Amino acid sequence: MDLITVESLMVPIEEYATVSQDATLYEAVKALEKAQEEQDRNRYHYLHRAILVLDNNRKVEGKITQLDVLRALEPKYKDMGDLRSISRAGFSLDFIKSMMEKFALCDIPFTHMCARAGDLKVKEFMSSLSEGEYVEADEALCEAVHMFVMGHHQSLLVTRDGDIIGILRLTDVFKEVFQTMESHKLKSDDA
């Protein structure tokens, strides 16, 4: 039986979108856009959905997901508490609309929200990394699948000897799941 490791599917850290902790949101979004343009030239066909934030020693300190960028557009989201817990409770559309009214969310035009957020420093709204977001490079892919499911992550940081060497994206794991299913289906159909 072939063992698929995390490392075999990861994107090397050098090929991923990164910014310094002192970068602005605009600079982070530009870095993501540049990484996505460069992806067309390499083997990683799925778009990056996060930007890694580096400290002054070029070590990963956090990340900014597409959802983090959207949260940065409206500073009042911070006043609402733990949005992840709130969203997992499955509130109705009416409740969500009442929260928008109560906190006066989106009370300025979208273009103004974007302009204002572009100057924010990424360290103000980046996601901190949690213990459950790290996976060893030589781990079996099944371990990573478990971490994706249990942690509701879109990506995992891949480590070797305590250093982050890459990022494992959910889209790449899903592609591997599909290809493996297809391969086994074709084998069973030929039998």
The boundaries of the domain holding residue 107 are: 11-190
- Tell whether 42 is covered by a domain: yes
CATH number at residue 154: 3.10.580.10
Q: 181 — phi, psi (to 5°)?
A: -60, -45
- Tell whether 58 is covered by a domain: yes
- Tell whether 165 is covered by a domain: yes
Query: CB neighbours of 61 closer than 8 A, spacing ≥ 6?
Result: 21, 53, 54, 55, 123, 126, 129
- Tell whether 168 is covered by a domain: yes
- Tell whether 2 is covered by a domain: no
- Tell whether 96 is covered by a domain: yes
Residue whose pair of structure tokens reads 């990424």 in the numeric block: 122
Euclidean distance between CA atoms 94 and 119, whole angstroms: 33
Split into its structural domains, the chain has a count of 1
- Tell whether 4 is covered by a domain: no
- Tell whether 74 is covered by a domain: yes
* Per-residue pLDDT in tens (0 to 9) along the chain, 191 residues: 478 999 999 999 888 889 999 999 999 999 888 877 776 555 545 567 789 999 998 889 999 988 888 888 887 777 666 655 555 566 677 777 777 777 777 778 889 989 999 999 999 888 888 888 999 999 999 999 999 999 888 899 999 999 999 999 998 999 999 999 998 777 777 76
Residue 62, beta-bridge partner list: 53, 128
Residue whose pair of structure tokens reads 């100057």 in the numeric block: 119
Cβ(52)–Cβ(13) under 8 Å?
Answer: yes
